[in-house]
């Protein structure tokens, strides 16, 4: 299999490859846009893994980093490593705030501009993360994603740690240490599909998910298009199994993928045109791998005017 020269974009007859796959929806050869856009957080919107950064604050980076890497590559289930990592770190609320700041300092190139453009185009944006809820939610809010469209792992704090007799003072909350995490779909490798279904609820529209890890790949069964993101870490399993794999450092190719040529027509003359244009250029010049010829040709037809 040759990567690189293979582009991707689906079309043609309604081949029912899977019950939810996007193949069945595309009867003609137009690039169809998506309405509900789901992003992973760590190594997708930000270049860091939040839990590894926390570990660094505590001098436990080696032990925790090995576990994260194994989970993201699909070698260990997240359920096996989640508790182990947190037990090793035992973060305080103050340290979580520091991680929110780190997420913000390490934004993936064009992440903010892509989200701004998607919002301008009326797309619904979600963040689904196996990271910790406080920093992910704070980071997502700064990006302009509403808190109810963000899901991550909630922690419980020990109210009796820090100077508990001054519990009402912000500094005390700051010092509270982690007690336990709420086990749920985001702490196991196969849980993200359930969260997508919950968040989408009865919202109509086509779904696109972007992520770098094995737990993101697991959402393929509930979205119309899964886009692997390799701009921060290119994981072999994700690259091999994604319908579309973005390998540019920038997230800009998500825009033409999500919004199609009709989206581009709407951003012309607006502040969003530049990042959309960059996305098209990157996508057509090696920044993106598309697995099926049909899909690739449809994308090229949509964005290269003289392709018949």
Binding site for Mg ion (CB under 5 A): 40, 42-43, 212-213
For residue 86, how far is the Cα from the chain centroid?
22
CB of 211 to Mg ion, least distance (A): 6
Buried b (16+ CB within 10 A) or exposed e, 258-297: bbbbebbebbeeeebeebbbbbbebbbeebbbbbbebbbb
CB of 216 to Mg ion, least distance (A): 6
- Residue nearer to Mg ion on the CB measure, 26 or 78: 78
CB of 43 to Mg ion, least distance (A): 4
- Residue nearer to Mg ion on the CB measure, 52 or 175: 52
- Residue nearer to Mg ion on the CB measure, 217 or 267: 217
Whether the Cβ atoms of residue 197 and residue 219 lie closer than 8 Å to each other: no
**What are the start-end ranges of the E strands in the chain?**
36-39, 124-132, 150-153, 155-158, 177-181, 207-211, 225-229, 244-246, 288-290
Six token digits for residue 6: 């293979």
CB of 186 to Mg ion, least distance (A): 12
- Residue nearer to Mg ion on the CB measure, 69 or 300: 69
CB of 111 to Mg ion, least distance (A): 13
- Residue nearer to Mg ion on the CB measure, 51 or 302: 51
CB of 73 to Mg ion, least distance (A): 11
For the chain, the straight-line distance linking the first and the last C-alpha, in angstroms and rounded, comes to 27
Query: Are β-strands 288-290 and 244-246 bridged in parallel, bridged antiparallel, or unpaired?
Result: antiparallel
- Residue nearer to Mg ion on the CB measure, 11 or 43: 43
Q: What single-letter DSSP state applies at residue 291?
A: S
């Amino acid at each position: 299999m040759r990567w690189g020269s293979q582009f991707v974009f689906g079309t043609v007859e309604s081949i029912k490859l899977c019950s939810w796959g996007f193949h069945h929806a595309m009867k003609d050869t137009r690039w169809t846009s998506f309405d509900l856009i789901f992003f992973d957080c760590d190594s997708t919107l930000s270049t860091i893994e939040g839990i590894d950064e926390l570990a660094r604050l505590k001098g436990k980076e080696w032990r925790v980093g090995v576990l994260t890497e194994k989970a993201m590559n699909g070698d260990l289930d997240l359920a096996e490593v989640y508790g182990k990592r947190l037990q090793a770190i035992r973060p305080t609320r103050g340290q979580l705030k520091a991680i929110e700041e780190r997420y913000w300092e390490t934004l993936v190139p064009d992440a903010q501009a892509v989200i701004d453009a998607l919002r301008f185009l009326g797309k619904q944006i979600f963040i689904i993360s196996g990271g910790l809820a406080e920093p992910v939610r704070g980071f997502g809010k700064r990006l302009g994603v509403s808190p109810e469209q963000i899901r991550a792992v909630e922690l419980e704090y020990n109210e009796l740690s820090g100077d508990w007799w001054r519990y009402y003072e912000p500094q005390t909350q700051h010092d509270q240490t982690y007690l336990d995490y709420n086990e749920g779909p985001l702490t196991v490798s196969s849980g993200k599909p359930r969260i997508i279904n919950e968040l989408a609820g009865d919202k109509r529209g086509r779904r696109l998910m972007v992520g770098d890890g094995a737990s993101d790949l697991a959402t393929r069964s509930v979205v119309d298009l899964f886009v692997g993101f390799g701009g921060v870490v290119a994981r072999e399993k994700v690259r091999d199994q994604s319908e579309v794999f973005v390998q540019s450092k920038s997230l800009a190719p998500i825009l033409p993928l999500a919004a199609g040529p009709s989206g581009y027509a709407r951003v012309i003359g607006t502040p969003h045109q530049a990042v959309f244009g960059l996305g098209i250029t990157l996508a057509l010049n090696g920044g993106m791998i598309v697995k099926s010829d049909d899909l690739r040709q449809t994308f090229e037809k949509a964005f290269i005017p003289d392709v018949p």
